[in-house]
Amino acid sequence: MTSKDPKSICLAYLEAFGKKDFGKLEQLLAPELQFKGPATARSGAQSHIGVLKRLGSVLLRNEVKRVFVDGSEVCVIYDFVTDTPMGAAPIVEWLRVEDGRIQSVWLLFDRQPWPAVMEEVSRRTGPAPELHSRSTPG
Amino acid sequence: MMARETDSTLAVVRAYDGGWTSQNFDQAVRLLAADLKVEVPINDYPTAESFARALVGFGGLVKTVTLLAEFAKGNEAMLLYDMEVDRLGKLRIAEHFTVADGRIVRIRQIHDTASLGDAGFA
């Protein structure tokens, strides 16, 4: 059972992603989720979960470093720890929660090391669907 | 107690941000502690002076800054903003501050360096 406060929901989202519990992720994300990363934007929880499933193939865990909360908005600094030569990538995620679900995700990270990681993701999970074929996850 | 510390942290960070984004660099630099630690994805600033020089140099190229969100808790604060930079274009930055005794003792930036390298900043 996840508490309905925004901080708990956002931490549960990162934990579920780290554990590759995509059923749990579906419960935490609003169906009409809006995502914005450094290079792309997408709509819909299913589209976002599709990307997270592929990234899960290299993810060891998410290590949360800091959490800030302002009403329904949460900002998390964490390391996305992979089993690739990149190792850990620092990520900032700014999330908005309403009615117990994450409505929007704003993600910031350095894209520089990601093309090699995404090549490894493709090697492990097969060619990316056209929607997810970028050389970075966001 | 925590709320008062949070307010004071935000006041310092806002004054720093307001200083350098309005090219009032003296105001911004006065808020940096002598033993400032800086963690950025590119370049290296071992001293407060070296960071202050970079702030003045880079800040002079910044055309607009749009603050997207600010968060604070205790002696730490986070600013998320978009910048329009001469020769570079748009840059999105997350900046994490730690404040002690009214001055910034640590700055950590997370941003995308792809375009910085292309523009010769790295």
pTM of the model: 0.91
3-state secondary structure of B6: helix
Is B112 in Cβ contact with A111 (below 8 Å)? Answer: yes
Sign of CA dihedral A49, B95, A66, A104: negative
Is A38 in Cβ contact with B92 (below 8 Å)? Answer: yes
Report the distance separating Cα B80 and Cα B109, nearest Å: 10
List of chain A residues whose C-beta atoms are within 8 Å of the C-beta of residue B2: none
How does residue B115 score in pLDDT terms, banded at 50, 70 and 90? low
Query: Would you state the structure tokens that stand for residue A93, as one six-digit string?
Result: 């995620």
Nearest Cα residue in chain B from A111: B112
Q: How many other C-beta atoms are found inside a 10 Å radius of the C-beta of residue B31?
A: 19
Report the distance separating Cα A138 and Cα B97, nearest Å: 25
Q: Is B92 on the interface with A (CB under 8 A)?
A: yes
Instruction: Give the closest residue to B76 by CA, choosing from A73, A65, A37.
Output: A65
Is B73 in Cβ contact with A73 (below 8 Å)? Answer: no
Predicted confidence at residue B113, as pLDDT, reads 85
Q: Give the pLDDT confidence of A55-99 residue by residue, as tens digits.
A: 999 999 999 999 999 999 999 999 999 999 999 999 999 999 999
Q: Edge-to-edge, what's the strand order for the sheet holding B76-85?
A: B32-39, B103-111, B89-100, B76-85, B62-73
Among the residue ranges A96-105, B22-31, B52-61, B108-117, the one predicted with the least confidence is B108-117
pLDDT over 60 (residue A125): yes
Interface test mutation site (partner A, options B112, B113, B115, B116, max chain A beta carbons within 10 A)? B112
